[in-house]
Structure 1
Amino acid sequence: MHFREKPHTLIDVVRVDDPDFKRPLLIGTTARELTTEEIREAYLHRWPVETNFYVSQATAAMDQPRAWCDTSVMRRISLALMTGSLLKAIAAQCEALPMGPWDVKAVASAGRLANHLDAHAQDFAALSLTGLELRKCREKEDVKDSNNLQLSEAA
């Protein structure tokens, strides 16, 4: 949410002082009905959601969007969350995937499954095209010359 779009939105800010950090953590929320303790508890759930969203965005090549209109953003978020949920569900049913020989305590996770699928994507593409003949696209016969188009007069 951008301030220019909602200039009168009230945001509660909670300051968290942690002795392990030099600067305090500031948590802002529009959920004004929550108590300070509830905001702190909700903040702890932020990381699993963001990790799921980040992995799914990167896996589905949505990490660099080209469209920013409201509909595109909503669709991208929905698709990313669905992709992440599917990756988590599939990873939960699979054996753990080590990232390399150094990974002796591998765990089954959506991120590891996404990396594994990414590393083997070429194998999947080759397998899916086995036995298929390549087709030639037909050329369009009556293509109008776009250089002769006249521009309409400006209003």
Structure 2
Amino acid sequence: MSTVEESIDVDVPVRVVYDQWATFEDFPQFMEGVEEVRQLDDRHAHWRTKIAGLSREFDTEIVERVPEERVAWRTTGESVKHTGTVDFEPLGAARTRVRMTMAFQPTGLAEKAADKLGMLDRQVRGDLRRFKRFIEDRGTGSGPRPASGGG
């Protein structure tokens, strides 16, 4: 299993950053290769991706949700294996550090080669940069504030 950890500081309050991140349907607007995320219920989402020409569909389950602090997930099923966390750290009233950690099990020759070339690292770093531009340009989250408590 390969692991990548990246972080970025955004000039937006933690509440707004968390609320935006918890709006999974907006991910295609800043995550390269994510074509669609459909929220199925409070804990489950269905993803459609196309990365390096490889199309995938898979489901995820939110395994931990701490408002304004953390979102953690894992894939369900057999087709794609990954887990991840996003931690939100306030750096003052209007600044937040976003730290993403993902563990991914590459399958097949193409994914294993991409992993060895560091493509996941670059993908996560790029997605965080695009998220920073997205949230700073917008200034406010687009979705409703999720209910507090675990996922």
For the aligned pair, the TM-score class normalised by the smaller chain equals: under 0.3
Identify the structure with bigger relative contact order (alpha carbons < 8 Å, sequence gap 6+): 2
Larger helix share, 1 or 2: 1
Structure-2-length-normalised TM-score: 0.23
Structure-1-length-normalised TM-score: 0.23
Larger radius of gyration: 1
